[in-house]
């Protein structure tokens, strides 16, 4: 393991244009679980067999808005979560001029909370919410305080929707383009906290043609065979220790 850490530090030193591509595993050390671990409570309430993916689908949002927000508030919004070692290490790499961008599938805003500036949020953010009719902005607190009812716009009374990409919805075109451009310019791509099973987000790694591909994930990923280095260690501890050694 010490050899793997030394190798990671060596690669970080050698790289000048790093991009980090992260998933849910990045935030688990901040106390945010993968929403797929949700139990069957919401299925029982509606007397329907529902997967977690269905619970955060556009169809479910439209048909069962109250139940959608019950699940959303309980499983997707963690206002007390704080950045962990990985978030802070990436912010430090950007401050050092070595990190081009973070491309994240997470919606918790912890990268920005840690100080990162260039963050492409493929699936949006719970910190942004907009009225579906007049597009007035509301923060996460407003959505949480409206419980147990769905949040309504103070200006026009229409539904307020989180700026989160639900299943059945397309990713934002500008965010996709910016993420692809950053990855294509990188000399090092770190894939962390994701097993690369969620598409289209996972397909972004095909834009990488740089020198160093590193995977830090507790389970096997689709990129392992192509990677120069694979670590199965906790990503917060790993990134914090590696960046501290630079």
The CA distance from 205 to 183, in Å, is 7
CA end-to-end span of the chain: 18
CA–CA distance, 69 with 56 (Å, rounded to integer): 9
Q: Based on the residue annotation, tell me whether 87 is a catalytic residue of this protein.
A: no
Bridge-partner residues for 229, per DSSP?
214
Catalytic pick among 123, 135, 209, 212: 123
- What span, in angstroms and rounded, lies between the C-alpha atoms of 74 and 206? 34
Calculated CA dihedral for residues 20, 99, 103, 117, nearest 10 degrees = 140
Cβ neighbours of residue 21 closer than 8 Å, sequence gap 6 or more: 103, 104, 183, 189, 190, 191, 192, 194, 204, 205
86-113 burial, b for 16+ CB within 10 Å, e for fewer?
bbbbbbbbbeeebbbbbbbbbbbbbbbb
Report the catalytic residues: 123
């Amino acid at each position: 393991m010490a050899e793997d850490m030394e190798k990671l530090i060596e690669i970080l030193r050698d790289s000048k244009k790093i991009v980090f591509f992260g998933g849910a595993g990045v935030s688990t050390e901040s106390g945010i679980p993968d929403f797929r671990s949700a139990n069957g409570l919401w299925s029982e309430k509606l007397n329907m067999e529902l997967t977690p993916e269905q619970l955060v689908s556009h169809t479910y949002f439209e048909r069962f808005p109250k139940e959608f927000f019950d699940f959303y508030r309980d499983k997707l919004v963690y206002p007390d979560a704080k950045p962990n070692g990985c978030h802070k290490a990436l912010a430090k790499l950007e401050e050092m001029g070595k990190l081009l961008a973070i491309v994240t599938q997470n919606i918790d805003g912890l990268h920005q909370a840690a100080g990162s500036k260039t963050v492409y949020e493929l699936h949006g953010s719970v910190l942004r919410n907009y009225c579906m009719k007049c597009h007035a902005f509301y923060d996460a607190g407003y959505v949480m305080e409206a419980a147990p009812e769905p949040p309504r716009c103070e200006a026009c009374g229409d539904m307020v929707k989180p700026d989160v990409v639900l299943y059945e919805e397309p990713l934002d075109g500008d965010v996709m383009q910016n993420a692809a451009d950053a990855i294509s310019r990188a000399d090092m791509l770190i894939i962390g906290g994701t097993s690369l099973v969620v598409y289209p987000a996972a397909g972004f790694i095909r834009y990488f043609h740089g020198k160093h591909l590193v995977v830090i994930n507790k389970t096997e990923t689709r990129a392992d065979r192509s990677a120069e280095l694979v670590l199965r260690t906790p990503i917060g501890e790993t990134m914090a220790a590696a960046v501290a050694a630079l």
